Amino acid sequence: MKQEQMKIWERFLKGLLIMTGILFIATGIGYLFQYLGFSEENIILVYILGVLIIAIITVNRGWSVCYSLLSVLLFNFLFTEPRFTFFSYDYGYPVTFVTVFIAAVIVSNLTIQIRKQGYRAEQMALRTRILLETNQMLQKAKNADEMIEETARHLMRMMGKNVIYYRAEDGILSEPRFCMAEPGAAKMLYLQQRERQAAQWVFENRKRAGTGMDQYPDAHCLYLAIRNEDMVYGVIGIALEGMMMDVYEQNLILSILGECALALEKEGYNRKREEALAQAKNEQLRANLLRSISHDLRTPLTSISGNAGILLNSASALGEEKQKQLYKGIYDDSMWLINLVENLLSVTRLEDGTMNLNLQIELVDEVIEGALKHISRDHSDYELKFIHSEELLLAKMDSRLIIQVIINIVDNALKYTPKGSKIEIYARKENQMIAISIADNGKGIADCAKEKIFDMFYTADSKVADSRRGLGLGLFLCKSIIQAHGGTIQVADNVPHGTIFTFTLQAEEVTLNE
């Protein structure tokens, strides 16, 4: 209150000095005009000009009215006969004085109105700019916490005051956080029980409290809710320390908090929509997976069960070649099941974010050779060839996962190419990357399928995952593993026919110390 009274006295003294100074200047110019022989009308115009200047410089209309009255009295006292009295010989002067006074007051009012209109326009432009900056700032925020924090920082910069803010979580206020305009200010001042009670009251009642309000007027901060019609997202406290804000500042702060509430409401809707979409996607994936597993497991398990039953009941009646064929069928189907389970486990770890890469510098040729030793399908009817690189190629990788990538792509080629097809594997260095290609001369992949070939549950022969012995997880898993390594994977045509799968890994160099 003392600060407000001091400011009132300062404004009063400033207005008084300005009015007195302009009166002296106008009177001095009047004496100069009289000395030069100018008419009294010119002196009156000088005083009216002073009214304009007073109205432009000062805010209070009272100074203009007071100046108008004093200028008429001074003109009568100093420039009309008899001088240095408030009488005049000319009976028309009183009418002139009244007219001049009214004209001065009208000019003063018009000038003040124009000034106020300009001030309001300036305030409106400033308000629009601040709200636009607030909106842009909120759009850049990634989540609700950042939105409230950026709003608090914005208010701190705009007001030059310390700001405390609470986030509402699950119907309760979180612990307070600070945006300090004064780095050395004591935060404990705003952690007192009274401050917390004021913030809690605002949260529960959706009204302002604190400095200058009926509720908790002794608080150090003015507390306001970040809210819409249905929900309170948080509470902002501005450390006014007893200072009162004008109506414009209050409305501007409420507008900023309103923008923040709208952004938080939109963020909440978007989050719920994304969660609903993710849940629907997960339900669809789960349904596809269950449908696919129930179909694809039945075929190899039926084959294993049938072959095992024949061997169990009629092994002695079968020739050695037939027994070997049945054993091989059981082995192939069991290896396929093992590969399927490995892919399922890997996809699960990728989706859960629990797959950790054990990155090591590996010799690319050795990794490829290791993968070829674990090919589950019988490739005796295919020409599977590994073309060794002429130079020593090293790459940073998790060799276990890259072996799985190579196995999946080669198994895919063995599955979809006719017997007798040629499958070649080769590696090369391209700039700072190692490119590994697996090419076949089969029938190739249609252009429309290339865009979806790496999608989960997509298979080349069918748009759903019910095709025989193919969940559509292998290439999806390959893409996920390569992306986790910071590389890329792509599919292209092998001229004149066939398909080339190429993936890249970060190249490494070994420096020998001499």
pLDDT tens digits for range 136-171? 878 888 888 888 888 888 888 887 888 889 988 888
Quickly state the pLDDT bin for 293 (edges 50, 70, 90).
low
Q: Confirm whether 511 is domain-assigned.
A: no
Measured between alpha carbons, how far is residue 57 from residues 22, 64, 112, 134, 509 in Å? Answer: 11, 10, 10, 33, 75
* Domain identity same for 173 and 86: no
* Most confident region among 41-45, 297-301, 345-349, 509-513 by mean pLDDT: 41-45
The better pLDDT of the pair 433, 353 is held by: 433
What is the reported pLDDT for 463? Answer: 43
Please state, for a pLDDT cut of 90, what percent of the chain lies above it: 14
Query: Quick check: helix, strand or coil at residue 255?
Result: helix
Size of the chain, expressed as the number of residues it contains: 514
Q: For residue 399, give every residue at least 6 positions away whose Cβ sits within 8 Å of its Cβ, in sequence order, or none.
A: 360, 362, 367, 370
Same domain, 365 and 474: yes
| Structural domain count, the chain | 3
Same domain (yes/no): 37, 9: yes
Q: Is residue 335 part of a domain?
A: no
Whether the pLDDT of residue 466 is over 60: the answer is no
pLDDT, greater one: 283 or 473: 283
Q: pLDDT of 396-444, one tens digit each?
A: 998 888 988 898 899 888 888 888 899 999 999 998 999 999 999 988 8
pLDDT over threshold 60, residue 272 = yes
One domain for residues 53 and 112: yes
Q: Name which of 20-34, 186-200, 371-385 the model is least confident about.
A: 371-385
Residue 265 has pLDDT above 80, yes or no: yes
Q: How many whole angstroms separate alpha carbon 367 and alpha carbon 245?
A: 72
Domain boundary among 195, 217, 245: 245
- pLDDT tens digits for range 197-249: 999 999 999 899 988 888 888 888 889 999 988 888 899 998 887 677 777 78
Give the residue among 44, 53, 30 at the shortest CA–CA distance from 101: 44
Please tell me whether residues 114 and 173 are part of one structural domain. Answer: no
- State whether 216 and 147 are in the same domain: yes
For the chain, percent of residues with pLDDT exceeding 70: 88
Q: Please indicate, yes or no, if residue 302 is contained in any of the structural domains.
A: no
In eight-state DSSP terms, residue 192 is S
Find out whether 89 and 82 touch, Cβ atoms under 8 Å.
yes
Q: What are the structure tokens assigned to 466, written together?
A: 């019910």
Let me know if residue 374 belongs to a domain.
yes
Six-digit token string for 96: 């002139």
Q: Which domain holds residue 390?
A: 356-506
Q: What is the pLDDT of residue 89?
A: 64
Q: Distance of CA 173 to CAs 198, 235, 257, Å?
A: 12, 8, 17
Element (H, E) at 288: helix 247-314
Residues 78 and 159 in one domain: no
The set of long-range contacts for 366-370, using a CB threshold of 8 Å and a minimum separation of 24, is 367/397, 367/399, 367/402, 367/403, 367/406, 368/406, 368/425, 368/427, 368/436, 370/399, 370/403
Any idea what the CATH number is for the domain that residue 479 is in?
Answer: 3.30.565.10
Here the CATH number for the domain that contains residue 182 is 3.30.450.40
The pLDDT of residue 289 is 64
Using omega within 30 degrees of 0 as the cis cutoff, is the peptide bond preceding 300 cis? no
Please state, in angstroms and as integers, the Cα–Cα distance from residue 508 to each residue in 81, 182, 239, 357, 386, following that order. 106, 50, 57, 17, 22
Q: Which is more confidently placed, 346 or 30?
A: 30
Q: How confident is the model at residue 464 (pLDDT cuts 50, 70, 90)?
A: very low
Better pLDDT: 375 or 351: 375
Tens of pLDDT, residues 63-107: 878 888 888 888 888 888 788 887 776 677 777 778 777 877 787
Asked if 98 and 157 sit in the same domain, the reply is: no
Indicate whether 328 belongs to any domain.
no
Residue 514 has pLDDT above 70, yes or no: no
Q: What is the DSSP string of 469-492?
A: T--S-HHHHHHHHHHHTT--EEEE
List of residues 6+ apart from 448 with CB closer than 8 A: none
> What pLDDT was estimated at residue 54?
81
What was the pLDDT predicted at 4?
61
User: Do the Cβ atoms of 445 and 466 come closer than 8 Å?
Assistant: no
- Residue 218 in any domain: the answer is yes
Question: When comparing pLDDT for 173 and 290, which is higher?
Answer: 173
Q: Is residue 286 part of a domain?
A: no
pLDDT bracket for residue 489 (50, 70, 90): very high
Structure tokens at 262: 């709208």
Pick from 227, 245, 263: which residue ends a domain?
Answer: 245
- If residue 362 lies in a helix (H) or strand (E), which one and from where to where? strand 360-363
Amino acid residing at 458: Y
Could you tell me if 365 and 454 lie in one domain?
Answer: yes
The mean predicted confidence, pLDDT, of the chain is: 82
Place of tokens 């004149």: 496
State in Å, rounded, how far the first CA of the chain is from the last one.
80
Residue 116 CA, chain-centre distance (Å), reads 39
Q: Which pLDDT tens digit goes with each residue over 10-52? A: 888 888 898 899 989 999 998 899 888 888 888 888 888 888 8
CA distances 6 to 1, 11, 12, 217, 218, Å, are 9, 9, 10, 21, 21
* pLDDT value of residue 473: 67
Let me know whether 124 and 163 are in one domain: no
Residue 281 scores a pLDDT above 80: no
Residue 465 has pLDDT above 50, yes or no: no
Map tokens 């501007």 to a residue.
252
Domain C-terminal end among 106, 134, 162: 134
Residues paired with 232 in a beta bridge: 227
Place of tokens 């409230």: 148
Alpha carbons 164 and 236: distance in angstroms, whole number: 6
Residues 222 and 167 in one domain: yes
Written as one letter, the residue type at 513 is N
Q: Examine residue 99 and state whether it is found in any structural domain, yes or no.
A: yes
How much is the average pLDDT of 475-495?
A: 88
More confident position, 213 or 353: 213
87 lies in the same domain as 210: no
